[in-house]
Structure 1
Amino acid sequence: MADMELRIVSLIPSATEILAQLGLTHQIVGRSHECDYPVEILTRPVCTEPKFNPVGTSAEIHDRVTDLLQSALSVYRVRTEVLEQLKPTHILTQAQCEVCAVNLADVEQAVATLTQTQPQIISLQPNTLKDIWDDIRRVAIALGIESQSSLTQLQTRVEACATKTQALSDRPTVACIEWAEPLMAAGNWIPELVELAGGQSLFGVVGQHSPWLQWDALVAADPEVIILMPCGYDLERTHQDAIALAKHPEWPMLRAVQAGSVYVTDGNQYFNRPGPRLVDSLEILTEILHAHLFNFGYEGTGWQRLPAQVKVN
């Protein structure tokens, strides 16, 4: 299929970034309300919206989303009227997490109502780095383009990090936190990235969904490094979650806290998006865990060290 024939709607940020990696940004005619990279995508019409108020504390947002799910309701709405106007040839969505973005069932239901076109739906469900490479290939095949050069660029960067860290004897224990209230550790691809970056991942299991985490378990493990990467949060918002965590009576007793080895990251732009910028996420982890070996320049924008004394008031 020639590029000029493509009219693509991407309903998840990671898919948008895959399309950009494949050189198809100009063929994207619509996006989700969360798609914001690359910046030129912001001019495209928005095709989804949340059914809950996304403003509030982590605990408040968790309660709102839980209420929707317990009522057997979708968390997001597909704006079918916008899809009708855009006449897409392809729609990219996901079946990985019904909380993170519009899900496959909602997209199928929306497409069934369209009268002027019946676009091909491409659904992504990555859980590991290999899955992400496979998704890039699958998207490229569906859209009739070549993907190997894009994959080689990404995989070369991963290999460069792994080569430097594989012989390290100093591999700190790391707790990656994906949500603060209630506490959740990071799973799926994150434990894999931590290991590649020269750390020992606690709690999460490669390829499995992020697990809820009890404070007792965090205290018992007493990680050397804690990295905060709340789903959908930028650096500033993650700092607010750090303040909430610091109010817990056992927080000051943690080894990572006492050593000043707690870090906040832009989880929204990096760690939570299973697309090409997971390679950037790996590079961020190497900077955090082994600063004497790596300096990719992400500090200050992708991550920051949390001050030893966090103001809780």
Structure 2
Amino acid sequence: MSQLFTDAIEQQHPVWNPEQARIVSLVPSLTELLIDLGLQHALVGRTGFCIHPADQVAAIPKVGGTKDVNIAKIRALAPTHLFVNIDENTKPVVDELATFVPHVVVTHPLKVNDNPALFRLAGGLFGHSAQAEALCTQFESAQQVLADCAARSRPQRVLYCIWQDPWMTVSAQTYIADMCRQIGWQQVQIADNTQRYPRFEWSSVLCAEMDLILLSSEPYRFTQQHADMLERQTGLPVELVDGEMFSWYGSRSIAGLKYITSFCR
């Protein structure tokens, strides 16, 4: 009996010959992961936001964005597999694509430690388990170095900002917040904790709850000017951070763990 791999919604998928696979990825971090697993030749479609690694994605046809996909274009590509994410892709679109794509692989990593299982799912499906295990080894090594560093660092309360006008942050349930926890940073909770990405307003009460403000490079591209303004306004230290390193799961998480190690103090 062929080995089966289970995705985030408990769907089971059989191992597929990579030479016969035709994969469309609707998630930038998954596109990067599939390429790092050695499956670039099986990728026949990707979103315009799939930009890494640049030299390899350039040859893969674009099929729209993560939410506004071109269904007709995807149909014409005749994919055997579609890689999607619960947070990044809309269910109605995925349901429509599932009417003609035989295998829709659903992902939903919520914690940093979900990455090794994601490597094994994506690699194992196409007989690239050895490549997946190599990534797992790199991930575990980077995580151990960070853990050793974090153990010597002072825990801090942070507010990770992703947008302004309105100001928005992340909840404790997000992947970003879990990445922050890897270094000992505790995300400050906003009163409206029912939202994954709650809005907030600056106040002396809120500022008293934090030690550090983090301004992300995505989805809003904060600049040094924003950082300087907030430091004057709040009297708190502000760091500009690479949003990809904090929010991209998949193989980018390895670089992400190494990146946040640089903030150990």
Matched, 1:220 2:204: no
Structure 1 residues 83-162: aligned runs within 5 Å: 83-96=74-87, 101-112=88-99, 114=100, 118-146=101-129, 147-162=132-147
Are 2:215 and 2:222, in contact at CA under 8 Å, matched by a contact in 1? Answer: yes
Task: Tell me what 2:9 maps to.
Answer: none
* In the alignment, structure 1 residue 265 sits paired with structure 2 residue 241: yes
Unaligned runs of 5+ in 1: 51-75, 291-313
Contact 1:177–1:230 (8 Å) recurs in 2: no
Query: How high is the TM-score relative to the length of structure 1?
Result: 0.68
Per-residue CA deviations over 1:183-203 (Å, capped at 9, x if unaligned) read 222341223222322434323
Question: What CA distance in whole angstroms lies between the structure 2 residues aligned with 1:278 and 1:210?
Answer: 21
| 1:253-294 Cα distance to aligned partner (Å, 9 max, x none) | 4232xxxx3122332x3323222223323333232342xxxx
Q: Matches of 2:147 and 2:264 in 1, distance apart? A: 13
Q: Write the deviation string for residues 110-144 of structure 1: whole angstroms up to 9, x where unpaired.
A: 342x4xxx331011111111223322222223333
Q: Which residue pairs with 2:175 in the alignment?
A: 189
Task: Check whether the contact 1:94–1:104 (CA below 8 A) recurs between aligned residues.
Answer: no
Distance 1:241 1:128 in 2: 32
* C-alpha contact (below 8 Å) 1:185/1:203 kept by paired residues: no
Choose between structure 1 and 2 for higher RCO, CA contacts under 8 A separated by at least 6 residues.
2
CA contact (8 A) 1:166 1:196 kept: no
What displacement does 1:167 show?
Answer: 3.6
Q: Deviations over 1:61-118 (max 9, x none)?
A: xxxxxxxxxxxxxxx322122112211111101112xxxx432431221342x4xxx3
Taking a change above 3 Å as real, the CA distance of residues 90 and 242 of structure 1, as seen in their structure-2 partners, is same
Q: For 1:3-22, list aligned pairs within 5 A.
A: 3-22=18-37
Q: Which amino acid aligns with 1:18?
A: L
Q: Does structure 2 retain, via aligned residues, the 8 Å contact 1:49–1:78?
A: yes
Identity %, equivalent residues:
25
Between the aligned partners of 2:134 and 2:142, the Cα distance in structure 1 is: 13
Task: State the alpha-carbon separation in 2 of the partners of residues 17 and 31 from structure 1.
Answer: 10
Q: Distance in 2 between matches of 1:241 and 1:266?
A: 16
One-letter amino acid of the structure 1 residue matched with residue 140 of structure 2: Q
Name the residue aligned to 2:232. 252
- Cα deviation, 1:16-67, whole Å, max 9, x if unaligned, reads 12212322122211101210001111221111247xxxxxxxxxxxxxxxxx
Q: What is the CA distance between 1:240 and its match in structure 2?
A: 7.9
Look up the equivalent residue of 1:279 and give its one-letter code: I
1:238 equivalent to 2:248? Answer no
Paired letter, 2:151: Q
Partner of 2:149: 164
Give the direction of change, closer, same or farther, for the CA distance of 1:12–1:196 in structure 2 (3 Å limit).
same
Aligned length: 240
Aligned to 1:179: 163
Task: Please report the RMSD computed on the Cα atoms of aligned residues, expressed in angstroms.
Answer: 2.6
Determine the C-alpha separation between the residues in 1 that align with 2:112 and 2:47. Answer: 23
8 Å contact from structure 1 (residues 104, 123) kept in 2: no
Question: Partner amino acid for 2:37?
Answer: L
CA 1:87–1:134: 2 relative to 1, 3 Å: same
Secondary structure of 2:262's aligned partner: helix
Partner of 1:28: 43
Partner amino acid, structure 2, of 1:87:
A
Retained in 1: the 8 A contact 2:25–2:31? Answer: yes
Secondary structure, aligned partner of 1:121: strand
TM-score scaled to structure 2, two decimals? Answer: 0.79
Distance 1:164 1:77 in 2: 41
Poorly superposed stretches of 4+, deviation over 6 Å: none
Partner of 1:308: none
Q: 1:125 to 1:80 in 2, by over 3 A?
A: same
